Structure 1
Amino acid sequence: MKNLLRLLVLTLLSGLMFSCAPKVITNVLKSYPALPDNEEVTIYERENDDPVPASAETIGNIAVVDNGASVGGSYEKVIDLAAAETRRNGGNGLLITDHLRPSFWGSSIHQIAGLMLRVDTTDTDFVSSRETYVSIREENERKRINIPAHTLMINTGYGNLSGDTKNFSGAEKVMTDKLHRGITWDARYYYHHKGLPYGFGVVVSQFYSSPFEELVYNNVKNNVRLDYAGVSLSWRSAFSPKWIGSLYFGIGYLGIMQKYSDAGNLSNYGTMTGSTVGSHLGVGFEYRISGRIGIGVDLSAISGYLTSVNYNNLTLDPSAPKISSENRLNASRMNATAGVRYYLK
């Protein structure tokens, strides 16, 4: 029984030690016989620009990283782990190209990446490690396609209000449905520092209900205009040097103006106006025609509800429900647009 208990304890302890050890990842490019455990592995650090023998041969990549529950990952410890793995792959040199130190928001251990080398210890010709070898971070920077730092977008297209018309019928429903459809345009500017994916900007947008059609009901001509202006956060990613995808969202000012005109005398009119805080959300794709010009398409939503409005030069129907917190006016809309992109940098 004691032997069984001892075996269980040893198994548990060894499992804990293994699970808490940093993880060693290798990518062997050329195989050599393993070296003895007492064989010295020379450590070179790129951040110190340690000189490396010019004849050094890269036999593989190596990284020592946090496995999610690693402890005891001092710099000396992770170097020892990397050196032992280098010996097992026939290398006697280790160049540290990347070193991620412990941080409050990151890992509690040191993490490294580099190259396993096979070096001639008698070589007297050396090269600069900083100038000769590229770090993983630099390699990723070279591969990344930068987003334009400054982008101006101008779009136009179709807009549709989200108001419910199921309580209307006949000519009133036909007119209201048409009132909910129209054209929209927007202008947007985004700034992405150093071409990074995350950026911010401003959005200005307007909607006009069926501007090329007479919307008349009971001898009253109707027009609706919606205004929106807000700040925006964006995420943009280049799928290739020519194609860019975007996600954006934000908040801003949302205003509405509905104009009621006498169909026989358009100079005689009244308005309903109101404003609130709205939000916007959208997705888009664009194609870069040149370094400065592109074209794109967007699908976006602008949302907001009004709990009060102002009436000017209008006689209200006493039986009509008033706009209030219990009877909000839906000023939301969907937009499908296309337009041009101008890349300022």
Structure 2
Amino acid sequence: MSTACSSPPEIPSGVTAASFVGLPVTSHGAPTAGAFFTAHNGITYAYGTEDGTVTAVGYNGPSTVVVPETVSNGVDEYLVTAVADEFFSSIVLDSVSIGENVTSIGSWCFVNDNLTTIVFANTLTNIGQGAFAGNALTTVDIPESVTTVNDGAFASNPLTSVKLREGLTEIGAYAFEQTELTSISIPASMTTIGRGAFSGAPLTSATFAGAAPSIHRSLTSDTPTFDAECGLVVHYLSQFGVEGGFTSPTWLGYDSVIDPIVSFELNGHGTTGEQRLVAGNSPGQPVDPEAANVVFCGWYRDAALTVPFDFTATVTDDVTVFAKWAANPVAT
């Protein structure tokens, strides 16, 4: 693990009990008599505030657990829509799979387990404070349904890869502190990244897809969002400079560069996606496009198709390249 640059959020002292849907629970997450049932896989459920729903509130079973989409109490079938605070916090687990229908994972839910694998539901919207802190996770893929990753959610994991998807708007304080991340891509939907969110991680690049989110500045905060001394370079697109909040050659005290975009104009023969380059790199030769009754004759820098485009040359600005076509003499 990398050396911490600031202290991670601590688990609140005395965290051994919580309450859910107005039902008191014991230190093991078990609700009062008559308000819960235990399924055959060892998970205990409390009836939800909405008819036909339950929340997972306790567990007694093996180290690999699946929180299901639905569960039966022996009479009726219920949707499992949430996992309670501290649900697995006193249990050593290796692998967890969260079923579809679960929208919320509670605070300190899987803290200090031995998790190496977590599979999230595509219905999940909220990951609670400290939910997966102190585990053995190396990769995390957060679904696009998630809008908020709360404070300390994945702190103190040996993460080397984190996938953040469009739809995520907020990352809380210390959420990915003390990980092994060397790069991170931030989706365009992001609006806020909290204090110390990536502190203690050896990040050398942070690539932003959209306008600049609100962060804690490296020069004005004792716990900045990103460590200043790790050699971080911020990558952004030219369209989000100035009015989009980014600046070069530095942004809020971090080195910054503009990643150029290569756009492809097929001149009436379909469309193809653009290519984002890392600043200072050449694009590399793309696969030749194909179209009916014509033959592709190469890419050109100008719309008049007079100057061939050199894909081995360094691209420093956004550029559009144009496809040249000729009639196919064997077309019928």
- Scaled by the length of structure 1, the TM-score of the pair is 0.23
Q: Which has the higher contact order (CA 8 A, sep 6+)?
A: 1
- Larger Rg computed on CA atoms: 1
Which one has a larger percent helix, Structure 1 or Structure 2? 1
Which one has a larger percent strand, Structure 1 or Structure 2? 1
- Scaled by the length of structure 2, the TM-score of the pair is 0.24
